[in-house]
Amino acid sequence: MPPSFAHRITKYDPADRDERGHYNGAEDTVSDHGPVEAAYLEAIAAFARESGVDRLEIRDPGVTGFVNFGLEAPVEGHGLAGLFPPDLAGYYDGAEVSVPVALELVRVMLRDQGAWCRLEHQDRFTVHVGWDQYVYVGSDQPCEAAVARTRELGLFAEPITASPYAADLEEPEVTQAADEEFWERVRAELAAPRALLLEEAYLSNATRWHRLTENNLDSVRAGLGPRALLTLWPDLSPDVGAVLAALPGDESVDFVWEAPDGTIRHATVDETDHQQLTTAVAGAKAACFLPLALDERHPLFHAALPDSDGVLRARW
């Protein structure tokens, strides 16, 4: 259940909204990277204090993918440099962070720097950042002092029924856990004998690819990210030339190949990239391409990693 009390925190004066609630004032829709942004963070901190929350859980984290919809250009490292290591270890679904780190994540989202997530503390407290500097805070407390503090900061805390960015828990797309039964199924496929291609989505819009064999299955499994979405595909084709020749001329695809050094690499490409791609994959041992459109993607099977207690909490 979402928290009982929810507020929309913005810099937009409600007096400057039309009859449909659309803002028509002079405030810009991007962060000022300055005092107004700082006011947002201080207001959120006030709500957290009054709610008795000092840590928040990262939920549904993602980074900028093939297309960026933010108003500001994404930055290298998705704005997470200094908060997490370059490989983004620690930034995953279910990770707990302190309120100061959570506020820095809010700053990244306010600036459209390339990362987005929900921040939650069970059903007691939530922080969601939407478009155009809209922030939604939910709490199990009315937080009257935090509302007053938000006004002192020059912002507006408007009561709402619920955050429009609350997670939709009605019908998750992936309900199968990558449990022991799942891994036995993978072993049976590999015993054919053949290899499989494993797509590991460890964040939204961030994937790692693995070419699975009976020999490396255990080591690959040990290195998978928490709550990752695992999708199994048929093996790469050793006829790289034929794969390149079959690339569609009117749509974008994920191109996956095994480099000469044995690493598995991938790139999202369209028809304008085909010549460069041919050069980039010179010497590749095997390759394939996969459609991006969900209704055209037909994997062998997929599942999400459960937590150590066996419970599937990932929301893919």
pLDDT of residue 167: 85
Per residue, the 3-state secondary structure of the chain, as one string, reads CCCCEEEEEECCCHHHECCCCCECCCCCCCCCCCHHHHHHHHHHHHHHHHCCCCEEEEEEEEECCCCCCCCCCCCHHHHCECCECCCCCCCCCCCEEEHHHHHHHHHHHHCCCCEEEEEEECCCEEEEECHHHCEEEEECCCCHHHHHHHHHCCCEEEEECCCCCCCCCCCCCCCCECCHHHHHHHHHHHCCCCCEEEEEEEEECEEEEEEECCCCHHHHHHCCCCCCEEEEEECCECCHHHHHHCCCCCCCEEEEEECCCCCEEEEEECHHHHHHHHHHCCCCCEEEEEECCHHHCCCCEEEECCCCCCCCCCCC
pLDDT of residue 168: 77
Q: Are 175 and 301 in contact (CB under 8 A)?
A: no
pLDDT of residue 71: 62
- Give the pair of three-digit tokens for residue 182: 């799942």
- Give the pair of three-digit tokens for residue 218: 């255990």
pLDDT of residue 75: 81
Return d(Cα 97, Cα 204) in angstroms, integer: 19
Backbone angles phi, psi at 237, to 5 degrees: -90, 135
Instruction: Find the length of the chain.
Output: 316
Which of 111, 103, 119 shows the shortest CA–CA distance to 44? Answer: 103
pLDDT of residue 76: 84
What residue ranges of the chain have pLDDT lower than 50?
none
Q: Taking the model in full, what pTM does it have? A: 0.91
Which of 304, 315, 311 shows the shortest CA–CA distance to 176? Answer: 304
